[in-house]
Structure 1
């Protein structure tokens, strides 16, 4: 699997978890997998180490949601999976899609 396919697969898995509102790029947008011509924001892949940064849906149980994210990502990538909650979406906020 190419790095692009892996990053996209991780992002898709994370966004399918109930309680995950969106991926988050970190304070300065530095959390990403950089690919030719694009990047996957909120997912950082390194050898043996994957970081996922999230925006949770308002009212989502933090521990259960992050545990589910970690479980789903660990099924895709080898090594350690780190999950960080960066923000919580306001009640009723929707994800902007291009």
Structure 2
């Protein structure tokens, strides 16, 4: 399992996350052999995570929950959380 796949798994386990998102043009992604993981972009000095949030939860608190969930996998890299949408039907 790659870092990106492990990070994606941890993010999906967060109760306030409805789904991962690729962003408006699918740019938040990591290319894997024969596949593309949408929603997590792992770079040398940063990790970008894009999600669809479940409604009914303060978004800043959700972003911190995600950062905490992936902290052991991201090390010293900056973790940017993008909330691209909120799924109110999931709340």
**TM-score between both structures, scaled by the size of structure 2:** 0.90
Contact 1:31-1:41 within 8 A present in 2 as well = yes
- Conserved in 2, the CA contact under 8 Å of 1:24 and 1:86? yes
Structure 1 portions without partners, runs of 5+: 94-98
Q: 1:96: which partner in 2?
A: none
Runs of 4 or more, structure 1, over 2 Å off, are: none
Matching of residues 44-55 of structure 1 within 5 Å: 44-55=41-52
Report whether the alignment pairs 1:24 with 2:29. Answer: no
RMSD: 1.4
Task: Give the 3 Å change call, closer, same or farther, for CA 92–71 of structure 1 in structure 2.
Answer: closer
The alignment partner of 2:15 has SS state of: coil
- Give the number of aligned pairs: 90
Q: 2:71 aligns with which of 56, 70, 74?
A: 74
- Kept in 2: contact 1:19–1:61 (CA 8 A): no
The structure whose residues are more often helix, as a share, is 2
Q: Unpaired runs of 5+ in structure 2?
A: none
